[in-house]
Each structure stands twice: as structure tokens, then as C-alpha cells.
Structure 1
């Protein structure tokens, strides 16, 4: 069924690859609910929804695309959902999940058409790389702020925190432990770093398990979203068009980049092309749509899947192994909840993941000002405005303006002009 012999692998290799991927990605079941709960989503709801979305998307990827790729809530999009969408629009989280739900449906439709490829091709490469780098800075800033390393300042907005604070000290210890593990190329360094930091927190009296360790999975709010028509009305009423568009763009870039990179690493590209691309994108849309119904932010093909590929994973059996392990994890919500309450345990992961994403700046053409400045705007405005959407908007608005000024307006795809007008309208009339 999974073409194990054809891809020169075995059941044992695939299971070990799945275990490796799980250890590398396990931090998401702590970090994602922690970020969402910080914005008001009930922790148990976000925790269970994270696992449901991961299992649904990953199983679809495994059975229909047969790739060793894990679909899980995307870092960056969860922060955007929590701190930009909920934080600036002053809307209930159920309304925000409506935007995620419709994004998933739109992504599902795009995965069945050729417009997906046309849309990706229309976006300038520099802006694609800048979006990834900007999200990395945004995530790092969130980690620094939650840990107390960066603190509020009345006139300068931010300043260095108090290093005598036990939370700050624990975060710095956690960072030191995790980067040491990563320097030694230890698989699952982020997860292992959290475990060790958690143990230090427990013995230093900062971590408590007042609610026990094991409990049955629960969804306090039940289904958060289930009616597409109601979701569309929510988007129209609250002017969330820019939110949907931002989700859609980042999902396209995240999933496309991760898919191509990981499938190339596994040696599964056929003549440089991705087979079953439609099924792979469909899996991501399934994860996002189902995740929104239960209460989590958009999913994407996770870059952590490369750890499993590095361990020999080449088929969907790797994903099935990860899905089973996530299902087992669902019964440990009290343990995960206690860990997430101590932000110093999770903050190092946010800060370090940001450093992975900032690598994209090396791909940007910094020599031509008309290419460099729009990318620069994207990167700096995301963390400084606490919004991925604002960063994307400013980049898309400035790019065609500079190309027109340089008489290179024919080099700009017509879709980019349309996006620029829509973003300008959104910033002026729909921003809240």
C-alpha cells in the first residue's frame, strides 16, 4: 500500500522515522495551545483541536499523497491569529476561527485548480522570502516578550527585562540547554530542551501539577465553527478579508516550500516535479478546515518533517506513526497545561524557531533597491506592528510603486497590482 519496497524502505525504518519526527515536532502540542490560550481560547479546547487537526491532515497526507510529511498548526500563523487577529480586531475567537475555516475551504478549492500554481508564481520571490523572515522575527519577539527578556518601557516601548526575575533566568537556562543540544545535532532538541527546562522548573518550585497528569481529551466549547454561510457573514460583518488573504498567502508559501524541500530531501521528486501535489495541498486544507471547526489556527506542512526524512522516512507510514503518537498525547492535557503555564519552558522554542525562519533573508536580492526595500518593509513591520498581515500589505503596496518608478511596471504580475489595491483599501478603510 505504501510502496515500501519501491522506495527502498521498511516498516521498521518508517516507524523509527515517525518517532524521530514526533520528538522533533512534539513541542507544538505545548506551544500552540499556550499561544492560543494567551488570547482567550480555552487551553483544553486548543490542545485537543491541535491534535485533531494534526491527525486529520497527517492521515490524509499519508493515505492519499503517501509522503512522510506531517500537517500541523503553523508557527507564525498561530501567533498572528492570537496577537493580531484577536488582539487588534476585538472580536470573539469564534469569529476569528470563521476566518480560518473559510481560508481552509478556499485553500481546498485552490488545491483542485491550477490557480494555486499561478498565484504562487505571481508573487515576487523576494517578498516570499521576506514574509518567512518577518514571521521569524515576529515569533522571536513574542518569545522574548512572554519570557520577560524584553519588557515594556513607558517611552521607548520596549527595554531589556530584569535578569534577576526567576522566569527570565529559567528562560535563559532553557535557551542555553536547547542551543547546546541543537549544536550537537541531537534529534528532537527543542522537545528535549523543554523537558530538561521543565524538570529544572519543577525542582525550583516554578512548575506544579495541581490538576494531575492524565485525563480524557475534552472540548469545553464543542464545535466552534461548522456553518460556512455563518462564517462568510462573520467575515463580511467584521471586515476580515485581509485576515483571510494573509492566512491564504502564508499557507501557500509555507506548504509549497516545505513540501518541495522535504520531498526533494527524500528523493521523491519526479523530473523535478511534485507528484500528487493536489493531494498534498488538499491534506493541508483538510487540517486547517477541521482544525478551525474544533478551535485551532491554520495548519501547514511542517518543516520538522525533515527530521523523519533524515532518519529514513519515505512514505505515509511515517505520518501514520506520528498520528498514533499524537493520539496518545491527547490523554496528557493536564501535564501539557501545567507546562504551558510556565512560559519560560516554551519561550526558548519560540525564540529558536524564529532563528530558523530568518534564514530566508539570505535569499533576498539586497543589491537592487526596488527589490530590497519592499522586502525590508515586510520584515521590519511584522514584529513592529505585531501583524503578519500589515507586513505583507506594506510589501505588496510598495513593490509595484517602486517598479513603476523604475519603469519596470511590465515586470510586475497583474495579480500583484490587484493585491496592492486590495491591501491599500484594507489598511485605510478596514483596519481596526
Structure 2
């Protein structure tokens, strides 16, 4: 600790932290934000993704993984990785267990292929190690640099549509059979009503430039939901705090329970490749898609991206050691970014709130999923490209831009949209008689391989 000495008495006392030290460390003013905005953004992101602490253990329990174990692991790794993302990478991304991966592990790797959950965690571990290796070798950064502008815009568009789809699916407006859109649901379900009210509230608050509009909307819809539930309105039935899994020794049973020796099983290699590719390119899509139209990308390159990618890969390996599946940069980070978050301070706030979930879990269970849906739709549409970005594109680039979000909507996934996007981007270079970047071509080939492997299981 630095000290200063009184010139009168000679007494030494702690030197006060200069005003603006927080601003200086996180480059808050430099990125066009304020401390208050960052704090509100962090809280908004936390509320938007807090459902993962309910949903992830529920999904993994279908494969025989103890609920309390995966709950402990999910909260712990989410908090640690998100705080590290904020303090080290200094970026506004929340990190948690990805729904695109835990379902694959639970229902395909364990359910269909017959691996034990300990073996499945071993495969998650090796996919994380592989991601750390390719990140340290700067391969992931070279892949990002190989992506042409049209594909970057397409990734942003696809991430935006994925956010909207999450809201549409959770509200019941869209009905999916597995991952395929099969029809439309009720327009007046409780979740749908929450979506309408939340979205309208955000638009109204934004119209009057009210700070924290997204956070105010989420809190307001939560209060409205409970008021309607207390009056016995049909369908409004918030979860009881008593439904929270109890603290027990079983929570720690996943620590070190993975089976690294699964690497010796030939069947495991294809699974590790799929886990690696989904996480590898999913993180690339989110880092680009969530920041493309912000001050973070003003120089054309995301600052701290290598550190962010290391947090992603290292976090996945650590998650398996604790007892849960791969972690990813969460797409709901868009809620905080949409609320103005531009620095690691918002991630730090979100990570601290995650850590407090061990104490506040009963309150988290009282936040209805519907309270966040309006925010997801609002932020999703903000990621859509503007007309001036679309107009100068070549026909094949416009095809890329249109096809990626349409495939996202049809399949409820980002990886299939990325397959089409990367393939079309490579073909675009060929049609324009340009040199095809080897990392772009290699990415397209790997994504095709991943899709074939997933289809074969």
C-alpha cells in the first residue's frame, strides 16, 4: 500500500486512491461510458442470464448429473470466469455454461452414445485444453482477422436474430420440435405478455433517454408478474423460493470427478472435435457480433480479445474440473452492452453478483424468465445491420447476409449459420478472383466436418 507523510507531523498514512483510478484502469471514459452506466449494465446482464443457474442443472440432471453438484459448479465457474473477463481482459462479456453445449452433452454424448457423465466431463476438459493451445498459438486471432466485413455483419445479424429467437421460444410465440421451427404458439400467454410489456417499457424509457432503461424494464416486469400472480391471474405462477436446491456435501462431488482417460477411447475424439468447434467458432461469432457496432470496435480490432479467448478456453477446462460443461461468452451479454456497457467493470459487477447467488439464490428463482424477454428482443434488433451497410455489398455477400439469420431462425442454432456463412465467404473470394485466406477456408472445412459429425451421432 502506498503511503504519504504529513509535512507537519511526519506521520505516515495511506495515500488516497486518485479520483478516476477506476476510470483509468477500465478505460471507461475512453470507451464513451460512465461508471454508473457500467454498473447498471452489469446488473442488467446478470438479470438477463440468471436463468442459467436454474436451467443448466435441470438439463444436466436429465443425464444423471446431480443437480446440487452442477449448480455449485455453474455458479462458481461463471463467477470466476466473468470476474476474470472483466478484470483481466477488461471486456463487458459475461461467461457461463453454454446451452448450445450442455444439451449436446446431456442428450447426445451421455444419453445417446452411452458415455458416463465423468467421461463426458473428461471430453469437455480436453476440448478446453485444445482451445487454450490454439489461442496461445494465435490461431483464433488469425481466424478472426480472416473474416471479411460481409461475414462480420452476417455474424452480428445472426447473433441478433438468435437473441430474438430465444425470446420468441421462451415466450411460446415460436414452437420448436427439437431444433426445428414447427409453428406458432399463443399470442397472449403470460410470457408473451411480459415480452410485450418489457419491450414497450424499454422503448418508452429510451425515447426519454432514461439511464438504465433495460434494468428498469426487467425489474418492472418482475414486479408486475408477481402482482398478477398474487391476484390469481391464470398462468402467472412464479417459482417458489423453496424450490432452490439445498446446500449439501453433494455440491462438491464433481470436483476432480472427470475422467481424462476418455481420450484413449476412439469414439471420444469426434466428440472432443465437435465440442471444440462449437465453442471455438461460437466465441468468435459472439465477440464480433456483440461488439461490431460499438466503440469497442472503433479501430477495427477488439482490444483484449486474446485474453477473452483464453478466459473462454481456460474456463471450459476449469468447468470440467468442477463438475459442469463448457463455458462460453454469453450471448445475453448483449443486454448489458445494449444498456451501454463497454468495459470490464460491467463484467466485474456481473461476476460479483453471480458469486452472491449462493446467498441470493432464493431471490433469483423469483425472477420470471419472461421479465428478460423484452430486453432480448430490443437488443437483438439493435444488432441488425443498417441499410447503408447492406447497399454497397456484392450479390453473393448479400446472399451471405440474408441466409445466415434465416438459417438461425430455422434451426435455432448459430453453428449451422456459421457453416453457410464461412462457406459463402470463401466462395465469394473465388468469384471475385481474390486470394482465399487459408484460415477462412480451413474454418469453412472444419465447420462442415463438425456438422457432418453431429448429424452422424
Alignment TM-score, normalising by the size of structure 2: 0.71
* Match of residue 329 from structure 1: 357
* Match of residue 242 from structure 2: 211
Which of 380, 390, 402 lines up with 2:406 in the alignment? 380
| Distance apart, 1:391 and its partner CA | 1.2
| Distance apart, 1:170 and its partner CA | 3.4
| Distance apart, 1:147 and its partner CA | 1.0
| Distance apart, 1:199 and its partner CA | 1.7
CA distance in 2, matches of 1:325, 1:57: 13
After superposing the two structures, state which structure 1 stretch, 110-119 or 295-304, moved more: 295-304
> Which whole-Å deviations, capped at 9, do the CAs of 1:276-325 have from their partners, x for residues lacking one?
66545433434443345443553338456658987xx97x7776555444
Q: Does 1:81 align with 2:101?
A: yes
| Distance apart, 1:100 and its partner CA | 5.1
* Match of residue 249 from structure 1: 281
- Checking the alignment, whether the CA contact within 8 Å between 2:95 and 2:327 is kept in structure 1 is yes
With over 3 angstroms needed to count, the CA separation of the structure-2 counterparts of 1:220 and 1:158, relative to structure 1, is farther
CA distance in 2, matches of 1:363, 1:117: 24
With over 3 angstroms needed to count, the CA separation of the structure-2 counterparts of 1:422 and 1:157, relative to structure 1, is closer
> What secondary structure does 1:211 align onto?
helix
After superposing the two structures, state which structure 1 stretch, 162-171 or 327-336, moved more: 162-171
* Match of residue 328 from structure 2: 299
CA distance in 2, matches of 1:29, 1:396: 29
With over 3 angstroms needed to count, the CA separation of the structure-2 counterparts of 1:194 and 1:319, relative to structure 1, is closer
| Distance apart, 1:413 and its partner CA | 0.5
Where does 1:19-418 land on structure 2 (aligned, <5 Å)?
19-36=39-56, 39-40=59-60, 48-61=72-85, 64=88, 67=90, 69-73=91-95, 78-81=98-101, 94=117, 101-151=125-175, 158-205=182-229, 206-211=237-242, 219=251, 222-223=254-255, 226-230=258-262, 236=268, 239=271, 241-255=273-287, 264=296, 278-292=306-320, 293-295=322-324, 297-300=326-329, 302=333, 322-339=350-367, 342-359=368-385, 363=389, 367-404=393-430, 406=431, 408=433, 410-418=434-442
With over 3 angstroms needed to count, the CA separation of the structure-2 counterparts of 1:158 and 1:127, relative to structure 1, is same
- Checking the alignment, whether the CA contact within 8 Å between 1:262 and 1:309 is kept in structure 2 is no
CA distance in 2, matches of 1:262, 1:308: 12
CA distance in 2, matches of 1:78, 1:425: 21
> What secondary structure does 2:94 align onto?
strand
- Checking the alignment, whether the CA contact within 8 Å between 1:62 and 1:320 is kept in structure 2 is yes
| Distance apart, 1:197 and its partner CA | 1.6
Q: Does 1:422 align with 2:422?
A: no
| Distance apart, 1:373 and its partner CA | 1.8
| Distance apart, 1:349 and its partner CA | 3.5
With over 3 angstroms needed to count, the CA separation of the structure-2 counterparts of 1:427 and 1:152, relative to structure 1, is closer
Provide structure 2 residue ranges, at least 5 long, that are not aligned to the other structure. 3-16, 29-33, 230-236
| Distance apart, 1:195 and its partner CA | 2.2
CA distance in 1, matches of 2:167, 2:145: 33
> What secondary structure does 2:329 align onto?
strand
- Checking the alignment, whether the CA contact within 8 Å between 2:157 and 2:401 is kept in structure 1 is no
| Equivalent residue pairs, number | 414
With over 3 angstroms needed to count, the CA separation of the structure-2 counterparts of 1:348 and 1:64, relative to structure 1, is closer
| Distance apart, 1:384 and its partner CA | 0.7
> What secondary structure does 2:365 align onto?
helix
Aligned CA RMSD, in angstroms, stands at: 4.5
| Distance apart, 1:18 and its partner CA | 5.8
> What secondary structure does 2:242 align onto?
coil
CA distance in 1, matches of 2:193, 2:373: 12
With over 3 angstroms needed to count, the CA separation of the structure-2 counterparts of 1:18 and 1:360, relative to structure 1, is same
- Checking the alignment, whether the CA contact within 8 Å between 1:37 and 1:43 is kept in structure 2 is yes
| Distance apart, 1:389 and its partner CA | 1.5
